[in-house]
Structure formats: C-alpha cells, structure tokens
Structure 1
Amino acid sequence: MKVLLTAVNSKFIHSNLAVRYLKEYTKDLNYECKIREFTINDRIERVLEEIIFEKPDIVAFSCYIWNHQFIDMLSQLIKRVDNNIEILYGGPEVSYDCEQFLKNSYGEYLIEGEGEETYREFIKMKLDENEIAPIKGLYIKDNDKVYYGGRRCDIDMNRLAFPYTSDDDLVNKIVYYEASRGCPFKCKYCLSSTMHGVRFLDIERVKKELKFLMDKKVRLVKFVDRTFNCNPKFSCEIWNFIIAEDTETTFHFEVSADILKDEEIKVLSRAPKGRIQLEVGVQTTNNQVLLNIDRYVEFEEIKQRVNAIKAIGTVKQHLDLIAGLPGEDFNSFKNSFNDVYSLEPEEVQLGFLKLLKGSKMRDEAEKWGMSYSPFSPYEILKTSDISFEELIKLKRVEEMVDKYYNSQKFGTILKYFLDKFPTAFDFYFSLGEFFHKKGYFNRSIASYEYYRVFLEFNKENREVEDYSLYEIVKYDYLRFNKKKWLPEFLPRYIDKSVENTIKEMVKGNELYMVNKKYHVELFKLDINAFIKKSTINYGSNFYFIFEENMPNNIIDITEKLK
C-alpha cells in the first residue's frame, strides 16, 4: 500500500509540519509513505500529473484556509483520472463540521483535530484489510453515509516523533517547529480558543531537536506555538539554550508581550543580533475592542514590554494588527496603527479578520453586523462599524507598509516624508491612494519604479518639486540595488578624475572595504546631516563609498577629499 502525504503550501519557502509528523509517527509500519509538497501558485494540472505519476493507493491532504479550494478542485480531478485512488483529509480547515464537509467532498476519509494517533490506527486498519472498524477521530464515507468513530483525546506531546530527518533538504526553507500545543487565552477569532490547556514537550528533547536543526544550518526556525512565553520557566530555558549556541540560525516566536516577565527580558538582552525575533499580536490598541474579543489586557501593558525589548537592540519585533474587529471603526483602526507604528518595530503587519469555522467570532457575526466571505479564508467584508470601501482602503495601506516599511529598504525616504504628514497613517494612506489612482496595484512595476513613485507622489500629491528628495531616493536606491547603473530619473554627476583619485585612496585599505567591491558616488545633499538631524544642506559636494552586497557599509569620505 502506498500513501502520498500531500502538502499544498502558500509559498515555496514554507514547509509542512503536519505531514512530516504523520510519516515519522508511522515509519515502523509496513507501508510505502511519501511526502510531496507543492504550492497554491503551482499549475493544478502539473500537481495532478505529479500525484498520478506516484501511483498512490491513498492521497492524504493537509487542509488549511489558504489551500482548501485548491485541494477541493484537485480531489475532483484525481477521482476523474482514477476513481480507485482514495482520499484522506486532515487539518484545521476540515476539523469543524466534519460530517458535512466529508459528505460534500470527493474523499472517503477525514481526520478530526490532532491526527497522529488517528492516522496510525487508520494505516493499521488499511494494512489489516479487515472490515472497516470505528477509529476515534476518523470519519468514513461509505455509500454516501458518514460514520464517526468518536472524539479522540489530545495526544501526550512526548509521544510525537521528531518530524525531521538527516535526509531532509531544508536549505532555503522556513522550518516549522512545535514545542507546545494549546493556548492559555480565549481570543474569539482564534481556533486555539476551542482547546483546553497547554501541553509541552520535554525540555531536554526540545534542546536536542533544536541542536539538530542548527547543525543542519537551517536559516529560520519558526515556532508554531500559539503563545510561546505562557510558561516563563520553559521559555527562559529554551532562549538561554539557543543564545549560548554558536549558530547562524534565526528563531521566530509568537509571544504575548503583556505577560513577558522581567527575567525573560533579561535573558533576551543577552541574545546576539539576529538570533531571536518575536511576533507580538497587538491586534488593536482600543481597550474596549480588546475586551470585545476576550483579550483581557490593555495596550499600555503591551507597549511597556515592547519598548523594553526594543531597548535591547538585538531582538527583532514584528507587531500585528487586525482590521475589522468588533467595535473598531476606521478612525479607531487609524489610531491603533499610529500607536503601533510609534513603537518603531522592525515590521508592522496589517491583517484582516477571518471568521474561521468553529470560532466564537463567527458565532457572534450577526451581533456585530459582520458580513464575511463564505469562501476560505472567510475574510471580513464589512461590519456595523467599518464599511467594505474603508476596508479596501486599509488593504492599500497594508501594501504600502509591507513594501516600503517592512522591507527596510526605504528608511531614508520614509524619514523625509513622515514629518510632512499629520500622522504615519496619513502618509501611508495618501501613498496607497496615489498607487490606486495611478493603477500601480493593477500591473507589475519594475523594482526601480518603486523608488520613482516617490518623486511622482511628491510632485503630484504635495505639489512640491524638492531636488533634495532626488538625492535621498538615490541614497536608498544605491544601498540595495546595483551600483553601476542608475535609472534615468536619478542624477549622477561624479567627475571621472575624482572617482579615480578615490579609488587609488581606497586601494588596499582594509579600513575602508571588506570585499574590495565598491562604488563611489557624489551627492549634492549632506545625507549624514539629514539622517542624524533631518537637516537639508543642499548644493555642496559630498562623497560616499558604497560597498557591494553590504547595504550598511557606507563610508563618507568628503573630509578626506578636502
């Protein structure tokens, strides 16, 4: 018997943890098991071809809100090609209203909730070739009737098999890891609110497995634990361990900032730069809205802890907001955005409420006047507090923030603009509306055009032609793009003889360059004065050396040439 464990990820760099758990948990059983991973961006015809080529007896799908419709179409195609291939579903998207889902699907089996134990018993049943028997957690469709084996208790975490092996190719992949399951909080929009309690892996086992991933030189390990710091003793010991290791691996954790203890912050203060990054679900800074979603915390508590982490200087923070929450209108969300932006995290993520199957938020949709898409990912369309048109405008803001702020490639340009608008939100809102008016959202634009947009925006939106802005745009462009060529809208006016003089001065001088690949540029604006003091000194000559592939290694040699 051959089973194809099939994952349809949202991006190529992602990996699927669930199918790896299933394979490793049943590796002692006498059957052929293979993992295949695709993405929702693959042509469905190609995915079908790859699956059929494997000649499986059973195809098992890991179902989420982002791949459910793709899997539904794929299931139908599989059955049309070979009706003898059986289909098994599992994952959060199919773990609510399971009977109805299976009735309307093309598959024969569905695993509810945690799948490891249920999947193992299912495989043993298929291998025994006996009459189908009830299995806890399993739904079986037979002649249009669905049979349920009953609810299964949560698994002891330490019975799980480590999902990665020495043969796994994890290069350039985000590797997901799980040290606990469950969440102590009951946020209405989250499926974790339906679970009870938190279960942890043995801490020594966690260390051993993380060491394995470090030795594999995994670039990024992303913990999927819903609230990693809910047990401060556990989080401190894990953080101490990875901080002490000699590794280039980065570890990403979802935390609740308001419950971060002083001892946890003290541990994090010892982290090398780039070792740890934290994702903080702020969601809103409106305390009443926080209560509306059963988050019993005030923004000031979150702010205090975020600022304490920021003061460390080596731990990256990613702060989340959700638009469309109950009781939050456009102006309230604007205030939430400005509150979070003022904390200056490395990333600000604007998400939009999704009314997941089985969540309390979906049950309260009518109470809050919520209209949401009936198709996955079940995103909010409007509420009694915010209109569809307002949410669309916030999506434009989201794109601007993600492209220009989160990429961290436009920092000097953003500095120029932000103090020219009443608030940060007003700037990103205006920029988003400008993109919409110009049709930039509807077509692909070249990377260099994302810089040119600012010159257009300044001239048309602010009705100002400021030549210092050209120099600021040029500075950010040269930091992150090819140095030998400048797009035609940016000025280049260095004298060749001066450039040769500078090259001779730099030649062989390791104080200047690390890899000896560099570019010399003349500016008419004192960039350093602008960055440090927001001062515009335009007209003189200022010389900079930009090192290739090292955006932060920029040397001002103006004084050396006087």
Structure 2
Amino acid sequence: MKVLLAALNSKFIHSNLAVRYLKAYTKKLNYNCTIKEFTINDRREKVLEKIIGEKPDVVAFSCYIWNIEYIKSLAVLIKLINPKVEILYGGPEVSYDSNSFLKNIPGEYVIVGEGEETYYEFVKLRAKYFETSGKVDSKEFFLELRDIKGLCFKQNGNVILNEQRQPMDMNKIVFPYTKEDNLKNKIVYYEASRGCPFKCKYCLSSTGFEVRFLNIERVKKELKFLMDKDIKLIKFVDRTFNCNYEFAMEIWKFVINADTDATFHFEISADVLKDEEIKLLNTAPKGRIQLEVGVQTTNDTVLNNINRYVKFNYIYDRVKKVQKYHNINQHLDLIAGLPGEDFESFKKSFNDVYSIKPEALQLGFLKLLKGSSMIEEVSKWGMVYSPYAPYEILKTDSISYDEIVILKRIEEVFDKYYNSGKFKNILNYFVPKFKTAFDFYYELGGFFYDRGYLNKNISSSDYYNVFIEFENECLNEKNIELEEIIKYDYLKFNKKKWLPDFLMRERNKEEEKTIKAKIDDGLIEVSKKYHIEKFFINIERFLNDSVLEKKEGYVVFDIENDKEIYLFHE
C-alpha cells in the first residue's frame, strides 16, 4: 500500500512539519510512504501530474486556510482521473467541521485534531486489509474504522464522526527530520510545545487542551541536529513560547551559547516576559534570535473584547527593553477588523506600535476561523466575512468595507517599504513631513492606488522613483536632498555600478584617485570589494541625526563587510 503525503506550502522556502511528523511516526509500519511538497503558486496541472505519477493508493493532504481551495480543486481532479485513489485530509482547516466538509468534498477520510496516533492506526488498519484482500470497502473494515478515535470517514455515502481523541504525550512524537533531508534554503519549523494558556477568541489555540512540552534535553539534542545541517532559519511553531519561564530560559540559553549561524524565531507574549528573560536575550549574538509579538491592538476595550487582558503600556515597556541592545529582531503584529475597533482606533494602534520602530510590523486582518469562539459572536459585532478561505473580515459595525480596503492599500505599501528594510532612510525623510506615520502611509497607499501601481508589476528601480513622483505631486516639492537619500538607499541594497536615470551620478576621477590611494596605503580600511560614490548632502549626519545638510563628499561602500565609510570635509 502506498500513501502520498502532499503538502501545499505558501512559498518555496517553507517546509511542512505536519507531513514529516506523520511519516516519522509510522516509519515502523509496513507500507510505502512518500512526501511531496509543492506551493500554491505551482501550476495545478503540474502538481496533479506529479501526484498521479506516484500511483498512490491514498493521497493525504495537509490543510490550512491558505491552501484549502487549491486542495479542493486537486481532489476533484484526482477523482476524475482515478476514482480508486482515496483521499485523506488533515490539519486545522478541516478539524472543526469535518462532518460537513466530507459530505461536500471528494474524499474518504478526515483526521480531526492531532494526527500522529490517528494516522498510525488508520495506516495500520488499511494496510492490513489491503495486503490480505486488496479491498478496503468490506463491512469488517468499516467496523474497525469506527474504533479509531479522531477519524471521520465515509461509508456508503454516509459520513461517520468517531469519538474525539485526547491529546497525546508530546514525547511520543518522533523527530521528523533525517540526515537525508535536503533543507537547504528552507525555513525549518520546530515544535517544542503544543497548546496555549491564553483564550484569545480569534485563535484556534484557545480551543485546545493544556500546554504540553517536549523533554528539554531532547529539544536541545534535536536543535543541535538542525544546527549541524547548517540551516539558516529555525522557526518555532509554539503558540506562546515563553508561557513557561524555566523552559524558555533554558532553551534561550542553549541557542544563545551555541556555535551556529542559525537564526531562531519565537512567537512570544510580551506581557509575560520577565526582566530575567530580557536580560538573557540582551546577551544573544546579533541576529541569533528574532521574536514575534502579537500586539493586535492598543485599545484596551478592544483587547478585552477578544479576551486579551493586557495593557499596551506594559507591552511597550517590554519590547523597548529588548530593543535596547539592538541585537534582537522583533516582529510586531496588528489585526484590523477586531470587534469594537473603528478606523480611528486602528490608526492610533498603528501609530502607537510604529513609535517603537520594530524591525517588522505585520498588518493583518481578522480571520473568522472555524472552531474559534469569535464565530459565535459574529452577529453581536455586526461582522461580515468572506465565506471563502481565508475567511477574512469584510466589515463590522465599527469599520466599513471601504475603510478595510484603505487599510489593505496601506498594508501593501507598508510591507513593501517598511518591512523590507531597504527604504529606511527614505521613510525617515518623509514621515516627519506628516502629522503621523499613519497619515504618510495613508497618502502613499492612495497614491499607489491612483497611479495604478497596486495592479501592475513595476521594476525594482521604479519603487524608488515613486518617491520623487510622490513628493512632487502630493507635497508640491522637489528636493535634491531626497534624491541623494534615495541614491544612498538604492546603492545600499542594489548593484553599485549602475544607477537609474532619475538619480544623479557625478564622477571626479582625481578625487576618486585620492581616495583609492588612501585605501592602498591603509589609511582607509576596507575590503577588496568596495565602491566609491559622490554625494551632495552629508549622508552620515542624516543617518545619525536626521539633519539635512548640503555638503559634498564621498561614501565608500565596503561591499564585503556591509559597511560604509563617510568622507565629508569639515
């Protein structure tokens, strides 16, 4: 019997932890198990061809809000080509309405909740009947299927939902990675705990069981294995990594002291972050740890509406203390469309969090997830949401559809310009020209929409040129200072030998010759790969003090060491 575990990831760099868990947990069973990973950006015909080409008896899909529509279409096509291929679904997207899901979608089985033990029992049973009789539609087979907890299945057109399975002992989980895995250039996901102690209404984790942890020495051993494979980013999927102080401290000490170039990503709750943890984090090598902090809103009333009983002032204090040594990347999250939050309240939340200047700020939109308690309050808050995955909010009693659309435009330009980190100094030039940071991104989003830039591909250089157009049309200004700042940011993150036509480059061979001589004599310390560029403002002063000063000079870009040397006359 052959089972194909199919994962449809959102991007090529992602990897799927769930299918690896299933294969690892059943490695002692006598069956043929293959994993195939695709992305939702792959052509459906090619994915289908590869699935059918494996000639599986069962195709098992790992289902999430971002891939469920794609998976539904694949299921239809698989059944059209070969109705004998059985389809098994699992994952959070099918765990809370498995009965109705299976009634309306081609397929035979759904694993509800945690999958390892249910999948193990299913494979063992199906393989037994398949190997002895070649049939899996006998009365005896279906009778035994009923004994598998956590399984939903079809029998003669009827859907049967078995008894719920209780959460398993975390330490029974089999480590899902092997020496043979090719994980180069992939984000690798790791799980040290399951469950969450908080009860946020919009989150599926609030509906689960108590938090369970892996043995801490096992975690260290497995992380060492991943580090030895030279993986660049190890992302913990634990819902609130720091909910257990002793556990978090021990793991953070381990990764901080490890001999590795890997970055470790943790999702934390800042309001339970203790001073001792912050002190430890401040000792981490730069880039070793990045933290994701769910702020969601800074409106205390709205926070109470979603069962988050925390004050933003405390989150602000914790995040700023972590930020103090500039060694930890912090990603903060906001959610638009929360119950009771209107446009002005979200604007304030945005400005509150923007004032922290985190490395990244994710602007998300409320998703009404199946199984979450928020679903039960839809009418209470006048929530209208899409019936199609990812079930995103369209409007509420507090915020209109038109306002949501405006926030979508802001999110798009914000993610491109702020979160990329490649336009930092250009943004620092513009934001002070507006009453608030939100007002700037509001105007920029509107400008992009009016010019049609949100609906077409524009070149990488055009993303810089936009700012010259924006200043001219929205502020009625045209300043050489802006062009010089754009030139600096462009050269910082792009090839140095070429500049777009809208930026000015002046070459003075004698002056450059003098600088090169100083480099050759060791008076200016740079690597062998460097670039010299003339500027007409004091870039160094603007970077350090946000002061614009017209002054000719040079910047030496040390390409190999990713640093700059500023040569401006006093």
For the aligned pair, the TM-score class normalised by the smaller chain equals over 0.9
SS for the counterpart of 1:356 is: coil
Does residue 437 (structure 1) correspond to residue 437 (structure 2)? The answer is: no
Give CA deviations for 1:479-538 in whole Å, capped at 9, x if unaligned: 111111110000011212322332233236395212x11111111111112222322222
Does residue 89 (structure 1) correspond to residue 99 (structure 2)? The answer is: no
Other-structure match for 1:118? 118
For the residues of structure 1 that align with 2:290 and 2:432, how far apart are their CA atoms? 29
Other-structure match for 1:554? 564
For the residues of structure 2 that align with 1:366 and 1:226, how far apart are their CA atoms? 28
SS for the counterpart of 2:93 is: helix
Select 1:209's aligned residue among 214, 217, 222: 222
Other-structure match for 1:295? 308
2:167–2:209 CA contact under 8 A, matched in 1: no
2:538–2:568 CA contact under 8 A, matched in 1: no
For the residues of structure 1 that align with 2:274 and 2:480, how far apart are their CA atoms? 49
Cα offset, 1:342, TM superposition: 0.3
Select 1:541's aligned residue among 552, 557, 561: 552
Other-structure match for 2:8? 8
Other-structure match for 2:460? 447
Other-structure match for 1:355? 368
SS for the counterpart of 1:6 is: strand
For the residues of structure 2 that align with 1:195 and 1:210, how far apart are their CA atoms? 26
SS for the counterpart of 2:433 is: coil
SS for the counterpart of 1:357 is: coil
Partner AA of 2:118 in structure 1: T
Other-structure match for 2:136? none
Mean CA deviation greater in 148-157 or 43-52: 148-157
Does residue 41 (structure 1) correspond to residue 53 (structure 2)? The answer is: no
For the residues of structure 1 that align with 2:437 and 2:258, how far apart are their CA atoms? 39
The aligned length equals: 557
1:483–1:548 CA contact under 8 A, matched in 2: no
Q: Give the 5 Å matches for 1:318-357.
A: 318-357=331-370
For the residues of structure 1 that align with 2:523 and 2:489, how far apart are their CA atoms? 24
Other-structure match for 1:517? 529
Cα 1:123–1:508 change in 2 (3 A) is farther
Q: Give the 5 Å matches for 1:252-331.
A: 252-331=265-344
Cα offset, 1:469, TM superposition: 0.8
Other-structure match for 1:107? 107
For the residues of structure 2 that align with 1:206 and 1:508, how far apart are their CA atoms? 51
For the residues of structure 2 that align with 1:359 and 1:61, how far apart are their CA atoms? 22
Other-structure match for 2:135? none
Does residue 221 (structure 1) correspond to residue 222 (structure 2)? The answer is: no
Select 1:492's aligned residue among 490, 505, 514: 505
Cα offset, 1:139, TM superposition: 1.1
Other-structure match for 1:68? 68
Other-structure match for 1:155? 168
1:338–1:425 CA contact under 8 A, matched in 2: yes
Cα offset, 1:557, TM superposition: 2.4
SS for the counterpart of 2:64 is: coil
The percentage of counterpart residues that share the same residue type is 62
Give CA deviations for 1:397-442 in whole Å, capped at 9, x if unaligned: 1112211111111111111111100011011111111101110001
Other-structure match for 1:19? 19
Cα offset, 1:386, TM superposition: 0.4
Other-structure match for 2:543? 531
SS for the counterpart of 2:324 is: helix
Other-structure match for 2:256? 243
1:271–1:314 CA contact under 8 A, matched in 2: yes
Mean CA deviation greater in 526-535 or 275-284: 526-535
SS for the counterpart of 1:419 is: helix
Could you tell me which runs of 5 or more consecutive residues in structure 1 were left unpaired when the two chains were aligned.
none
Does residue 199 (structure 1) correspond to residue 212 (structure 2)? The answer is: yes
Other-structure match for 1:377? 390
Cα offset, 1:97, TM superposition: 1.4
SS for the counterpart of 2:555 is: strand
Mean CA deviation greater in 242-251 or 127-136: 127-136
Give CA deviations for 1:25-73 in whole Å, capped at 9, x if unaligned: 0000010000000000000000000001111110000000000000000
Does residue 53 (structure 1) correspond to residue 64 (structure 2)? The answer is: no
Partner AA of 1:6 in structure 2: A
Give CA deviations for 1:189-216 in whole Å, capped at 9, x if unaligned: 0001111210000000000000000001
Other-structure match for 2:134? none
For the residues of structure 1 that align with 2:241 and 2:350, how far apart are their CA atoms? 25
Partner AA of 1:529 in structure 2: R
SS for the counterpart of 1:312 is: coil
Does residue 417 (structure 1) correspond to residue 427 (structure 2)? The answer is: no
SS for the counterpart of 1:94 is: coil
Give CA deviations for 1:362-391 in whole Å, capped at 9, x if unaligned: 110110000000000000000000011101
1:182–1:226 CA contact under 8 A, matched in 2: yes
Q: What RMSD in Å do the two structures reach over aligned CA positions?
A: 1.2
SS for the counterpart of 1:206 is: helix
Select 1:476's aligned residue among 462, 465, 489: 489
For the residues of structure 1 that align with 2:460 and 2:521, how far apart are their CA atoms? 34
Other-structure match for 1:395? 408
For the residues of structure 1 that align with 2:128 and 2:445, how far apart are their CA atoms? 60
1:96–1:357 CA contact under 8 A, matched in 2: yes
For the residues of structure 2 that align with 1:112 and 1:530, how far apart are their CA atoms? 56
For the residues of structure 2 that align with 1:383 and 1:178, how far apart are their CA atoms? 35
Could you tell me which runs of 5 or more consecutive residues in structure 2 were left unpaired when the two chains were aligned.
130-139
Give CA deviations for 1:58-112 in whole Å, capped at 9, x if unaligned: 0000000000000000000001111111100000000011111111110001100
